[in-house]
Structures are given as C-alpha cells and as structure tokens.
Amino acid sequence: MSPARLLVSLLLAAVLLAGCGGDEGIARVGDTEFHLSEIAGLFESGAVTGSDFRTVLYRVMAVEALNQSLEADFGVSVEAEEVERRLVELEASLTLSGQTPAEALGMAGVSRGMLRFTAEVNALRDVAIEALLTDPEVVDGLYADPTTLTTVCARHILVATEEEAAAAAARLAAGEDFAAVADELSLDTNSEGGDLGCLPASTFVDEFAEAVVAGEIGEVTGPVETEYGFHLVLVYERTAPSREEFLADPRSAISTELLADVWSNWFNTELGAADVWLSPDYGTWYPGGIVAPSAGE
C-alpha cells in the first residue's frame, strides 16, 4: 500500500472511531469547506480506495463549484424537493432492477448517500441547461452558426472521385431521377435513393452541413468533398426556428448532441475558473479530476 492509500485509510478509520470531533478540512470550494467524514460518508465502511476516493472527492468539489456558478451566473439553484424527487425515482429503479447503489453507479463500496448525490447532479444539469438555453449570450452563440439550429431534409449521392461526381451530375442535369442514380452509384448503401431523412444540419460533417444549409432547395448542389468522398446533394426541405420560437421551447429546437455541448462548455469553463483548494495529502486538483499525490496507489 502506498503512503497516499495508507493515509486515506488511517484518517478514515480515525474519523469513524472518533466521530466528527477531530475531523479535518481536506478541500474548499469558494467559502464551502469539505471534511473527510463528508466524503467518507459516501462509502460503505471499509470500502474506500485511493482512486475511488479521489473520484468522489472531485465530483463533490465540482458539483459545489457548479452550484455556486449557477447562483452567481443565473440567480437560480437546485431545490431540495427536486433532488428528493429524483432520489425516489432512482431508488425505485434500483428496486426494480435488484441492483445496489454500487452496482448501479459502477463504483465499489458507495453508499445510499452517493445515490442522493447522483440525484443532485442530475437535477443540477437540468436546472443549468434551462438557464443556459435562455441566456442571451448562449442564444446569440447558437444563432451565430446557421448549421446549429437548422433542420434539413436531403438526399445525396456519394462517389469516390470528383470525376465520378461530375459524371453523375451530368446524368441528373439530363433529367435522370436522383433516387435512381443514387441507388445505382452511391457508396452510401444505408440510405434508399440517397435519402438521409430530416436531421439537424449539425449532425453532419462541417463541409456537408454547410452545403445543406446554403444550397437551393430542390436544386442539386456539389460536388461537396468530405472525408467520405464527393457528394451531390439535393435538399428538399429546410426549417429553422425564429429566436422567439426557440425561446418558447428551446429543448425541442436543439439536438441532443448540441444540448450536451452547451452543458459541457459551461461546466468546463466554470470548473476552469473555480476557486478551489485541496490538501496536497489528497492530490492535486485540476478541472478534469484529481491527480494522486504519488505515482502509486
């Protein structure tokens, strides 16, 4: 056992035996201090390991930093009633599946307290996203890129070379049916008649996304070169919400991937700027995790 692992084990044992009287502060976020017993309480007795302890400590510190940012940036906070509601849902799910909190969360030895913490994280994410999606600066950023909120319905023909694309374009110009040419020539065998359906433009690689947003509806565009080859593109429908429509129901106007980007961009920025302190006995904080105080466990 390394010195770091031994230190955590000895200190935890001391806390469990002596209660809170000698409990030490091991970390701070803003004005909020965390004590060893608070982190150890998220584990079942005797189950703490060095890496798992650091992972949980990091998550607790990160969530506190984000809660503070949520209040400072938007004047909102996570309600205790909402955390409790989500905890009840999580526990009901575990009862149905027959899993323990440790099994459900993929971390050995964690207690019911970690389940409550997970409920808080889930609530925090949703509260933050609601605030972010109506924040003028965030909305301005979304509308700055026309591919972000535009949904396109399109067909394409994918070929290997520019010469093949030119030959296919000539056949289309001569009046041949787009779907028939796509079925004959396209390297994309997953789309019937080259039909990609209706998708957010941001779903596609950059060159293709720009083409489907800029191309004339009903007109063949291309060839467009991407990492996959050369595309001839036919957009048959394109929609984008007005700013007012977006603000009325932002979640319905944004893709799951873009929603994740909005969330991750915010928390990465906030964690990078967070006012944190961590006792060097427990490692070194950085916005993506806690590095062990020594190479070994």
Digit-by-digit pLDDT tens for the chain (297 residues) are 333 333 333 333 333 333 334 467 899 999 999 998 888 888 886 446 688 889 899 999 999 999 999 999 999 999 999 999 999 999 999 888 888 888 888 877 778 888 899 999 999 999 999 999 999 999 999 999 888 899 999 999 999 999 999 999 999 999 999 999 999 999 998 999 999 999 999 889 999 999 999 999 999 999 999 999 999 999 999 999 999 999 999 988 888 888 899 999 999 999 999 999 999 989 999 999 999 987 544
Whether the model clears a pTM of 0.85, i.e. scores above it, the answer is no
Residues 6 or more apart whose CB falls under 8 angstroms from that of 19 comprise none
Residues 6 or more apart whose CB falls under 8 angstroms from that of 24 comprise 11, 35, 36, 279
Cα gap 189→199, rounded to integer Å: 18
The burial of 147, by beta-carbon neighbours within 10 Å (0-12 exposed, 13-18 middle, 19 or more buried), is given as buried
Residues 6 or more apart whose CB falls under 8 angstroms from that of 43 comprise 52, 53, 56, 109, 110, 111, 114
List, in order of start, the domains of the chain with CATH numbers: 3-138+259-291 (no CATH), 150-239 (3.10.50.40)
pLDDT at res. 10: 33
pLDDT at res. 19: 36
pLDDT at res. 171: 97
Q: For residue 110, report the phi and psi dihedrals to the nearest 5 degrees.
A: -75, 150
Cα gap 280→131, rounded to integer Å: 35
79: which 2 tokens?
A: 């309600």
Rounded to the nearest angstrom, the gap between the alpha carbon of residue 46 and the centroid of all alpha carbons in its chain is 33
Cα gap 116→123, rounded to integer Å: 11
pLDDT at res. 188: 93
72: which 2 tokens?
A: 């400072």
Q: At CA 66, angle to CA 19 and CA 4, rounded to 5?
A: 45
47: which 2 tokens?
A: 């189950």
